[in-house]
Structure 1
């Protein structure tokens, strides 16, 4: 009995020493991570600020081991969503790993509490946790495309009116940015103005905006302006035609969504509304039959 107590006490002390050594090693590795200057970067949200030390730890120690192909694809996704000034591609992959680890630990705790020994639920939770940042980027991309398609006719109207009033394209862009609504398109036009001020040719600045967004309407706008400038045509006329075309497309999208609404309502009607209606109407009849002994 005494020997068992001594062995258990020794194992307990050994476990404490082992955990202490691991914590000390992690602390030393954490101190090796250099500081980060975010003066010219986008501010972090509250959830990212909480997870950021772990993200930077993984990025600093293991970021160079990430496959280059995956890093390149993530860089393109960050560029398309306008989040390249928030975090890098390797930091995004590190964020996915951190989310997967947190989901795995929480799933293991839940499985332990439920008394389950299956690993399917923790592994599925880890997979879902790793996919959450990608779903976040996909949602941002969808909202960006929708906002750009909605705001592009407004900015084209501003550009057209400014050029017809006598301003050149650079001055018209400045007026459109100062008067136009906020959103991703305004930020992209601000990037175009910064590129122009840095000495980049106007066609190249517009093409860089097209590469960052990769939206069909923006591609048509950039191609028309660049071609009109190259051929010596009237940019104001081109912009007015683009504005009318974009506005027509916006009305067509609204009509399409309005026509799709009745089709989308069929499922909730059949699954949720019709059964409840039949229950409300049929319950008194069934009760009447039961009282009269017909059922």
Structure 2
């Protein structure tokens, strides 16, 4: 029997076994149950993930649909309730008619143009600008300031009026009698608004419609809260005194927050006023002391460009500072 060289025989055998083991190790996962289990787990998790994503998409689409619907309703309401000059004058508490307001605005514009032409000896272009500002901008700015001041006074008295209603209801008085007490004894503008509400009820207007008209005259969130609370109580019932007491507490907390914001922003407002008044103040003092030094700004073309550029930058700075200190809550 011939001799067999064992090393030469074992080496190919080991190589073949190693190759077979490598092939088995690579191919085994594709034929084993673990692979099928992994596939099932992946399919289930993928289905759940798809279901979760589909649910999230459905929820987001519903939210978007609701938001779009609310936006459409708000746009329709704004288009329906056009703010006329009569309503603006009512909001400002003015006794003028729209005709009187337009006549006064025109006279103010003519006066501004006359001052620019005859006293300041400026061109017609400057007179046209002055007439536009005096006849269109200034009266509406004054009207807006009057409206803001009146609304602030109303808000300062509204919580006390609601407390009067709460105490009156707890003592057994009806809601209409409590409103009559407020109309008789409250200062302006709260007394006049509730007096108007009481008079409308005497003429047959429902309380809900009267409060809706009050919301038109006073477009404030607090007045809207009051109208919603009373309307819900009339439709669904419930303890009106408790609901109004909670509303009074909310209004007082809002007033406290407003005063706190006003106190915290007082320093920034003072700084903004000082910074905004420095350039015109310095210009005025230089003009009074040495007018020849500053007159080239008003008599030359490059001076006009410099004045317009400086005024533009000042306006931008004032607007930026106003945005920084104008807190909304």
> 1:186 aligned to 2:157?
no
Unaligned 5+ runs, structure 2 = 1-81, 279-329
In the other structure, the counterpart of 1:172 is: 178
Which one of 192, 212, 217 corresponds to residue 217 of structure 2?
Answer: 212
**Count of equivalent residues:** 196
Map 1:18-33 onto structure 2 (within 5 A): none
> 1:109 aligned to 2:118?
yes
> 1:100 aligned to 2:109?
yes
In the other structure, the counterpart of 1:78 is: 89
1:104 to partner: Cα distance? 1.7
Q: Larger radius of gyration, structure 1 or 2?
A: 2
Q: Structure 2 CA distance, aligned partners of 1:158 and 1:98? A: 45
Kindly report the root-mean-square deviation, in angstroms, between the aligned alpha carbons of the 2 structures: 2.3
Q: Structure 2 CA distance, aligned partners of 1:72 and 1:158? A: 32
1:134 to partner: Cα distance? 1.0
Calculate the TM-score normalised by the size of structure 1. Answer: 0.61
In the other structure, the counterpart of 1:135 is: 141
Q: Structure 2 CA distance, aligned partners of 1:140 and 1:107? A: 27
Q: Is the 8 A contact 2:162 2:244 kept in 1?
A: yes
Q: Structure 2 CA distance, aligned partners of 1:76 and 1:173? A: 23
> 1:202 aligned to 2:211?
no
Pair 1:271–1:98, CA change in 2 (3 A) = closer
Q: Structure 1 CA distance, aligned partners of 2:124 and 2:197? A: 51
For residues 216-272 of structure 1, what are the alpha-carbon distances to aligned partners after superposition, in whole Å with 9 as ceiling and x for unaligned? Answer: 110111111111111111221121111111011111111111111232343467799
Task: Give the SS at the match of 1:87.
Answer: coil
In the other structure, the counterpart of 1:260 is: 265
1:150 to partner: Cα distance? 0.9
Pair 1:269–1:124, CA change in 2 (3 A) = closer
1:149 to partner: Cα distance? 1.6
Higher relative contact order (CA 8 A, sep 6+): 1
Q: Is the 8 A contact 1:72 1:89 kept in 2?
A: no
Q: Structure 1 CA distance, aligned partners of 2:271 and 2:219? A: 34
Map 1:137-152 onto structure 2 (within 5 A): 137-152=143-158
1:101 to partner: Cα distance? 1.5
Pair 1:271–1:219, CA change in 2 (3 A) = closer
